[in-house]
Amino acid sequence: SCNRGASASKGKSVAYSSPGDANGWFLAFSSELKKEAEKRGYSFSVTHAQQNTARQLSDVEDIIAQKPTFLILGPKDTKASADALRTARKAGVPVIVVNRDINGEHGADYITKIYSDFEWIGEKMAQAVREAFPADKKTIRIVEIHGTLGSANTTGMSKGIRKVIDNDARMELVRSQPGNFQRDVAMAAMENIIQSGVEFDAVICHYDDEAMGAIQALTRKGRKMGNDPSRGEIIIVGNGGTTVGLEAVKAGKYHKIVSVTPYYADKVFEAIEAHLAGKKLDPYIRVDDIVIDKNNVDKHMATGF
Amino acid sequence: MVEDCLLKMTGICKAFPGVKALQDVDFSVKYGQTHALMGENGAGKSTLIKVLTGIYQKDAGEIVFDAESIAPTDAAQSQHMGISTIYQELNLAPCLSVAENIFIGREPKKYGLIDWKTIESRARSILGDMGVTGVNVSRPLNEHSVAIQQMAAIARALSLDAKLLVMDEPTSSLSETEAGLLFDVIRRVKARGSSVIFISHKMSEVFEICDTATILRDGCLVGEYPMADLTKLKMVSLMIGRDATSVLHRKKEVSRGLDDRELVLKARGLSRAHRTKEIDIDIAGGQILGVAGLLGSGRTELARILFGDEICDGGEIEIAGAAAHLRTPRDAIRLGVGFCSEDRKAEGVFPHMSVMENMTAGILGELSAGGVLSRKAQMQVAQTYIDKLGIKTSGPDQRMGELSGGNQQKVLLARWLCKKPVLMILDEPMRGIDLGAKSEIEDIIADLAGKGVAVLMISSEMEELIRSCDKIVVLSEGRKAGQLTAREISEERIVQMLAHGSHPGQEAVHAK
Amino acid sequence: MKTDSATIKTGVIDTVKSQGPLVMLVVLCVIAGICFPAFATSLNLVNISRQISMFGLLALGMAFVILSGGIDLSVGSIAVVASIVALQAGRWFAPAAVVAPILVGVAIGAFNGALITWGGIPPFIATLAMMLGVKGLAFVLAGEGRSAAAAEQVVNVSGWFPVIFRGDCFGIPYPAIILIAALGVAVVVSKYTSFGRSVFAVGGSEEAARMMGLNVNKCKMLVYMICGGCAGAAGLLLASRLKAIDPTATGGWELTAIAAVVIGGIPLTGGLGKIGHVIYGVLILGIIPNLINHLRISLPPWYNEMITGMLLLAVVLLQSLIAKRGTR
Amino acid sequence: MPNSANTSALGAFRRAIAQRQNVRNYGVWSFLLLSLGVTAWFTPGFLSWGTLDNTLIQAFPVLLVALGMTMVMSSGGIDISVGAIMAIAGAVSGRLYTSNAGLAPSVAGGILAGGLCGLFNGTLISKFKIQPIIVTLVVMIAGRGLAQTILGKPSVSFSFNSSLNVLGQYKIAGLPIQIVIMIAAVAMMLFVVKKTVFAKHVEAIGDNPRAARLVGINILRTTACVYVLCSILCAVAGIMKVALTGGVNAAGLGKFIELDAIAAVAIGGTSFSGGRARIFGTVIGAVIIPLVTVIAGMNDMRDHHAMIFKAVIVIGVLLVRRER
Ligand SMILES: Nc1ncnc2c1ncn2[C@@H]1O[C@H](COP(=O)(O)OP(=O)(O)OP(=O)(O)O)[C@@H](O)[C@H]1O
Ligand SMILES: Nc1ncnc2c1ncn2[C@@H]1O[C@H](COP(=O)(O)OP(=O)(O)OP(=O)(O)O)[C@@H](O)[C@H]1O
Ligand SMILES: [Mg+2]
Ligand SMILES: [Mg+2]
C-alpha cells in the first residue's frame, strides 16, 4: 500500500490551515500530519490562524492562491469559518475538515470531516466525575474551569457536561469560570473560587494545563486532591492527554483524563487517498477518544504530547 | 465716560495656589488707544490678559467689553467677541505651516474646501506688510527661527481684524528694525479705530507707540498714566516701587582690552550646510563677545555649532587651547561650554518639574553622591539663585510652568550660572526680562567675565550689546560681515555693517 | 545657482525621507514578486486587497485619532459589536444591516470622545476600558449563555449581504473600492477642511490650539466618532465576510491598526504626518502575513512570529536609516 | 492698600480650592472604600487574609511590570513588549532549569535575558530614533516567538517538589515570597524616584527631550537604562510566575499584561506624555485591577460580564480622580 501511495502522491501538495496557536495539541497534530505527508510523499505546509477567524479566512485565501492539491481545514469557528469552504470550492481545491465541525455541504464543500466529538468528551468527563463518587452520595458539587469563551471546543464540552449534569438530580454545577486553556489563568480562577467559600467535590477542566493550574491552586490553599472522595480528596477530571497530564494521573493527583487525541493523521491521509481513488466517503469520520485513569495510564504514557 | 471705553475691567482678582497673581485690579482701554501694560516680571500682566481672554477664570471682578458685560470661558469666545491676542509664550501649532498658523480656524474656502493658494498668497502679503519677505510660508513653523514664529503670531493676530488687539511681549525676539515695522502696522490698526494693549519690557518701544500706560506691581494696580506725563525714570520707579536711578544709570566699564589674554575659544572657518559660511571667532577669557545680525542672519546656528548641537561641515574649534570635536552638546558641556537657548519653551524649560529641578538639571551629578541626590544641596543652590536673580516664585518647589515668562528666563540663566562654565553662550538672554532684572543680569554677566569666563552673547537689542560687550561680531547671511573692537563699538558702525552685508537672498531678510 | 542645486537636493532628500514607507513597501513587493511566483498573480493581489480592507478602515479612523494626539484601543471591539449588530439588525430590516453597524460605531466613538473630553480621562485608558467593556457587550449581544455554552445563533443572511465583501466591479473587489473611497475622503478631509486642519493643530499642541481659538473638544469628539464610524464600517465588512457571529473575530486588530498608522509615518505624539501614507503602513502589515504564507513552511507558529517580527524590524530600521540620512 | 481688604476673601477662596483638591484626592479613596464595602457585603468571605493573599499574588506580576512601566512612561515612552519579555525570561529560566542548571543559575539566566531585551529596546529607541511603540511591538511579536523557540516546545512543567516550584510557594516569615519581593520592589522604586539623579534625568527627558539634550543629559544611556530596568522587573515577574504555577507556557505567559500594566500606571496618575513618576499611584492601580478580577471570580461572574464590570470600575475610578 505504501508503494501505491507514493505514486498517487507524486507532485501533490497538501496544505493545512490550523486555527490554533502554540498549544501542545495543535503542534502535535500538525507535526503528525507533516510526518504522515512525508511518509506518503506529499509536500506539506501549514498556516496558523492564532485563534483568529478573520486571519484563518485570509490564510485559506493565501493557500488557495498557491493552488495546492488538497486543503486540510481546521476551522476556528463552526459558522464563521465556513467562508473558507467557499474559497476552496471556487478554486476547485478539495477540502478535508479536521479538528472541529463546520457548516457546509458534504460532497460539494468537503470530502469528509474527521475530528473528536467534543460534546461526547464533555459527557464523558461529567460521567467520570459521577463514577468517582459512591452511589449514595447525595450531591456532587462541580466546578468547571472552561476554555476560551466562544471557541468551538469550549462550547462543545460545556454542552456535553451540562447534558449529563442536567439529567442527574445529584449533580450540581456550582461554579464555572474561564481558564482560557492556560495554567496561570486557571490557577487564579481556582484560587478565587476557593476563596469565595463555595463547597465543591469535583473540578472539571477543559484542558490538562488548566487542571495543572487548578492542582497548583488547591495545593497552595491546602486542599487535597486524588481519587478517593471519602478521604476528602477533590476529584479532578479533564480533557487532554499531554505528558504533564498523564504524569499527574500517575502521581494520583489528577483523577481521569478524557483524551482528545491528535494522532489521526493517518485517517486524514487515508481519506485523501480514498478520494483520489475515486471513492465516496462518509460525511463524518469519528476519532476515537478514550478515558485514561490510574489503571491504564502507563500504557498510554508514550502517547503524551 | 463709559462710552469711550472699549474695555473696562474692574476689581479683577485671580489667585493661584500660594500666589495672589491679581488683586483688585482695574484696567480700561479707550477706543482707538494703544495702551501699555507695564510691570516687573511676575507683576501679573500676562495673567490679566489671560483672564481677559478666558484662558483663566477670574475669582472676582467684572469685565465690560464694547458696552457688554462678558465672561469668556475659552479663547474661542473672546476671539469671536473681537479680541485678538498674541500670548507671551508663543502658542502656535508647531508642525503646521506658517501660512496655516496665520489662518487656522478661519481658512478661506473655495467650493467648501480650503483654498491653499489664497492662504499662502495672503500669508505672504500680510508678512510682507510687516516687512518680512522671502519666508517660505508653506514650510512648518518649527523650521523657522523664533523671530519668524513671533512674526507669524503677530500676523495671525493682525489678520483677525479685531476690535482689540492684545500683544504680550510681541517684540521680545525682534530687533529694532522689525519692531519699527510692527509699529507702522499698529498705527494703521489704530487708525482703523481698533485699540491695542501692548506689553513690553523695552522702554523705548513703549514710549514710541503707546498713549497711556497702566502699571502693575506684585499683582496690584499702581495706576494709569498718560504717556506724556511719564519719563523712563518715573515709569521704572513706579514699576519697582522705589527710585530707579541706580537701575537705569549703569555705566559701562571702560574697555578692558583683553585681547592679549589666552583664548578660550578659537574657531576657524566654521561652515554648515550652505547657511553658515567660513566664520572665524576668537574669545579670550574674561571677554564678552557680542554677535549682532538681522533676523535669520545665522547667529543662532553659530551658537548651536559652538555647542555641538549642530555639527559643522567644515572648520575647526579649539576650546581652552585643545582641539574640540563637538558631536553632541554633551561634548561641549564636558569642555566647559554653557548654552542658553533663545527658545525658552521648546528648548529650555521642563514645565512639569519644579523650579529647583529646572535650575539644577545640569549639575545633578555634582549635587549627588553615588547617584543619590542631596535635596539639601539642591535647595541651597536654588535658594541662592532665587535670591541672587530676584526670581519671583512661591518657592523652589513651584512648578516651572507656573512661573511668569521673565522668571522662567531667569531660572534658565541660573541653570548655567551654577554650572560655572569656561565659555558661556547666551542666545537672546534678556528675552522678556524686565529692566531692573536686566541690569542685574548684565552685572552678573560682567561678573562672570570678571572671573575669567569667556562669554558669547547674541542679542537683537543693539543697546544691550553696546553696553555689555568688549567686542562685537556682525553676521549677515551666515557670513561674518565685520568685527568691532571695544573702542570702535557704536550704534552707527554696527548699523553700517549690517546694511553693508545685507542684500536680498533666499532666506528671510528684510525688505528695507 | 549654487543655492538652486542645494534646494533641489534638499527637495529630493525631503521627498525620499517623507516617502520612507512607500520605499519600504516597494522593496517588500519586489522581493516578494521575485521570490514567490504566486505572489504577483491577480488572484493573490485581489485577496490581499480584500484582507487589508477591514483593518485598513480601522487604520484610517485611527490615523485621525493619532493625529489629534490621542489613541483608540477600542476599535477591534467596536468592529466586532458592529458586525453582530449588522447581522442581528439585518434579520429585522435588511437595509439596517448596512446602516446600523456604522451608527453603532459612531455612537461608541462618541462615548469614547465624551469620556476623554468631558470626563478628562486619558485616551489610552478610557479606550482600554471601553475595549474590555465593548467586548463584553459583544458576548452579551451574541447571546452567549451561562458560561461558555453558546446559544445557537442562526443568522439568516440575505443573498446580497455577502456580496458587499465578496463582490467586485471590473475585477476590483468592493472592499478595496470602499477602502480607496474612504482613503480619498480622509485625505480631502484632512487637507481641505477646517476640521481636518484643526486635528493637526490639536495634535501638535492642545494648549496652543485652544489659545488659537479652536474648539478642541469638538475636534476630539469628532475624531473619536470618525474612528468609531470607521470601525463600524470595518465591522460591516467583517459581518459580510463571516456571515456569522463571532465575538472573538477581531482580537489584536487595534494594535495592527496603530502599527499601520505609525509605520505610515504618523508618530504617536500626533500633529505630524500624512493620512494618505497610512495606506502604505496598511499594505506593509497586510503583505507580511501573506508573504509568510507564501513561504509554504511547515514549522510551529512561533517561527511565523519570529519572521513577522524580523520583517517588521527590517522595515522600521531601514525607514529610520532613510530618515537619518535625510537630516544629516 | 487693597491688600488688607481682600485677604479674607482670598483666604476663603484658597480654602475652597484646597477643598476641591481634597474632594479629588479623597474621592478616589472614598470611591474605593465604598465599592469595597459594597463588595464585602455581597461577597461572602471577602474580608479575609485569603482574599488579600489572592489579590496580592495575582497583582504581583502586574505590579512589578507596572513599576517598570511607570519609569518608561515617565520618560515619555511606552513598552508593550513587557509580556513577551516575561515569556522570554520564563523560557530561559525554564530551559536552564530543565537542563539541570540549578535554581540560582536558572533564575539569573532569565533575568539576564530580560535585561538584554531591555537593552535592545532602549538602543533602538534612543539610537535609531524609532518610536517606542513600534520597537516594543517588534519585540512583542518576535520576542514571544523567540521565547517559544528557546523553550523548544509550547510548555514545560516542573514536578511539585522541584526547587523552582518550591521557590514559588516559599514563605518568608509567614509572608509569601511574592509579597516580600513586591514590598522590596516598591521600596526600591520609591527610593529611585525620590532620591536618584537617574530618575530626575528620566523625568527631564519625558518632560522636554530637546531641553534635556541641551542640558547635557545622556539621553542614550538614560533611555537604555529605563528600558533595561523595566525589562528586569518583567523578567522577575515572569520567572516568579513560572515558579508559582510550576510550569512555563511561553505562548501564554504574560500575554496582554501590557494593557493591565499601562492601565495601572494611568490610574496611578503618571502622565502618558512623560513627567513625574508616581509609584504609590501605580501600586494602587496595579492592585485595583486584579482585585476586580478576584471579586468577579468570587462571585462567579460570567467572563463577559466581568469585562463590563472591569470597564465600569476603571472608568469610575478615573472619573473621580480626573484632573481638569
Ligand atoms: N498657572 C499658574 N499657576 C500658579 N501661578 C501662576 C500661574 N500663572 C502665573 N502664576 C504666577 O502669577 C504671577 C504673575 O504672573 P504673570 O505671568 O502674569 O507675570 P507677568 O507680569 O506676565 O511677568 P513677565 O513679565 O515675566 O511675563 C507670577 O508670580 C506667577 O508665578
Ligand atoms: N532646520 C532648518 N531648515 C531650514 N532653514 C533653517 C533651519 N534652521 C535654520 N534655518 C534658516 O537658517 C537661517 C539662520 O537661522 P538662525 O536661526 O541661525 O538665525 P538668527 O540670526 O539667529 O536669527 P533670529 O533672529 O531669527 O534668531 C535662517 O534664515 C533660518 O530660517
Ligand atoms: Mg508675562
Ligand atoms: Mg536667533
Q: What is the CATH number of the domain that holds C108?
A: 1.10.3470
**Dihedral sign, CA of D291, D297, D301, D304?**
positive
| C318 found inside a domain | yes
Cβ within 8 Å of residue D11, ≥6 positions away = none
Q: Is residue C286 pLDDT above 70, yes or no?
A: yes
DSSP state at residue B502: -
Asked which of B251-265, C237-251, D224-238, D280-294 is least confident by mean pLDDT, the reply is B251-265
What atom in ligand 1 is closest to the CA of residue B434?
25
Taking an 8 Å Cβ-Cβ cutoff, which residues of chain B contact chain D?
Answer: 13, 15, 17, 20, 23-24, 59-60, 220-221, 307, 309, 328-330, 333-334, 339, 341, 346-353, 357, 361-362, 364-365, 368, 371-373, 415
Angle between helices B375-389 and B405-417 (to 10 degrees): 120
Higher-scoring residue by pLDDT: C149, D19: D19
> Which residue has its alpha carbon closest to ligand 1 atom 18?
B44
A144 has a chain C CB within 8 A of its CB: yes
**Confidence bin at D2 (pLDDT 50/70/90):** very low
DSSP state at residue B399: B
What atom in ligand 2 is closest to the CA of residue B144?
31
DSSP sequence for D251-313: TTTTTTHHHHHHHHHHHHT--TT-----HHHHHHHHHHHHHHHHHHHHTT--HHHHHHHHHHH
> Which residue has its alpha carbon closest to ligand 2 atom 31?
B144
pLDDT for res B2: 47
Tens-place pLDDT, residues D66-91: 999 999 999 999 999 999 999 999 99
| C13 found inside a domain | no
| C9 found inside a domain | no
| C316 found inside a domain | yes
Q: Is residue B502 pLDDT above 50, yes or no?
A: no
Specify the length of chain B in residues.
512
End-to-end CA distance of chain C: 22
Whole-angstrom distance, CA of residue D270 vs CA of residue D288:
16
pLDDT for res B493: 83
pLDDT for res D301: 83
Q: A3 φ, ψ to 5°?
A: -65, -45
Q: Which of B96, B311, B506 sits opposite C3 (nearest CB)?
A: B506
Q: Is residue B212 pLDDT above 90, yes or no?
A: yes
D241 has a chain A CB within 8 A of its CB: yes
Residue B169: count of CB within 10 angstroms of its CB = 22
pLDDT for res D27: 59
Interchain CB contacts (distance < 8 Å): B and D: 96
Q: Exposure pattern of C134-160 as b/e (b: 16+ CB <10 Å)?
A: bbbbbbbbbebeebbbbeebebebeee
In 3D, which of B121, B482, B492 has the Cα closest to residue B297?
B482
Tens-place pLDDT, residues C130-140: 999 999 999 88
Tens-place pLDDT, residues A214-265: 999 999 888 999 999 999 899 999 999 998 899 999 999 999 999 999 999 9
Q: What is the mean pLDDT of each run of 10 residues along chain A (305 residues)?
A: 50 89 84 92 91 89 91 89 90 93 89 92 95 91 89 87 94 92 90 90 95 92 90 94 91 93 93 91 90 92 88
Interchain pair C194, B107: CB under 8 A? yes
Q: Is residue B486 pLDDT above 50, yes or no?
A: yes
The model's pTM is 0.89
For the residues B249-273, what does the mean pLDDT come to? Answer: 73
For the residues B309-319, what does the mean pLDDT come to? Answer: 89
B200 lines ligand 2 (CB under 6 A): no
pLDDT for res D54: 84
How high is the mean pLDDT of chain D? 85
pLDDT for res B321: 84
CA of B154 to the centre of ligand 1 (A): 22
pLDDT for res D80: 93
pLDDT for res B17: 81
Q: D61 φ, ψ to 5°?
A: -65, -40
User: Cell 511561553 appears where?
Assistant: D250
B297 lines ligand 2 (CB under 6 A): yes
B144 lines ligand 2 (CB under 6 A): yes
Q: Is residue D324 pLDDT above 60, yes or no?
A: no
Asked which of A124-138, B41-55, C217-231, C248-262 is least confident by mean pLDDT, the reply is C248-262
pLDDT for res C17: 66
Q: Which of B23, B307, B339 sits opposite D3 (nearest CB)?
A: B23
pLDDT for res B241: 85
Class in CATH terms, D30-321: mainly alpha
pLDDT for res B74: 86
Beta carbons of A113 and A281 less than 8 angstroms apart:
no
Q: Is residue B248 pLDDT above 60, yes or no?
A: yes
Asked which of B14-23, B74-83, B296-305, D18-27 is least confident by mean pLDDT, the reply is D18-27
Domains observed in chain B: 2-244 (3.40.50.300), 258-336+421-500 (3.40.50.300)
B92 has a chain C CB within 8 A of its CB: yes
Q: Is residue C149 pLDDT above 80, yes or no?
A: no
CA of B427 to the centre of ligand 4 (A): 7
Beta bridge partner(s), residue B64: B8, B69
In percent, the amount of chain B with pLDDT more than 90 equals 39
Domains held by chain C: number: 1
> Which residue has its alpha carbon closest to ligand 1 atom 6?
B402
Higher-scoring residue by pLDDT: C177, B129: C177
Burial-class residue A263 by CB neighbours within 10 Å (0-12, 13-18, 19+). Answer: middle
For the residues D279-303, what does the mean pLDDT come to? Answer: 85
In percent, the amount of chain A with pLDDT more than 70 equals 97
Beta bridge partner(s), residue B289: B456, B471
pLDDT for res A151: 75
B507 lines ligand 2 (CB under 6 A): yes
Residues 123-152 of C with CB under 8 A from D: 124-126, 128-140, 144, 146-147
| C3 found inside a domain | no
B256 lines ligand 2 (CB under 6 A): no
Whole-angstrom distance, CA of residue C112 vs CA of residue C277:
26
> Which residue has its alpha carbon closest to ligand 2 atom 28?
B296
For the residues D229-247, what does the mean pLDDT come to? Answer: 94
Q: Which of B76, B80, B114 sits opposite C193 (nearest CB)?
A: B114
Q: Is residue C201 pLDDT above 60, yes or no?
A: yes
| C2 found inside a domain | no
Whole-angstrom distance, CA of residue C238 vs CA of residue C241:
5
The ligand whose atoms approach the alpha carbon of B88 most closely is 3
**Domain housing C64:** 24-327
Give the mutation candidate from A193, A195, A210, A219 for the D interface (greatest D CB count, under 10 A): A195
Q: Which of D58, D154, D300 sits opposite A188 (nearest CB)?
A: D58
In percent, the amount of chain B with pLDDT more than 70 equals 94
ipTM of the complex as predicted: 0.88
**Confidence bin at C145 (pLDDT 50/70/90):** very low
| Residues around the ion ligand 4 (C-beta < 5 A) | B 300, 342
Ligand 1 pocket test, candidate residues B14, B16, B214, B434, most atoms within 8 A of CB: B16
Specify the length of chain C in residues.
328
What atom in ligand 2 is closest to the CA of residue B147?
26
How high is the mean pLDDT of chain C? 86
Interchain pair D208, B349: CB under 8 A? yes
The ligand whose atoms approach the alpha carbon of B341 most closely is 4
Q: Is residue B224 pLDDT above 60, yes or no?
A: yes
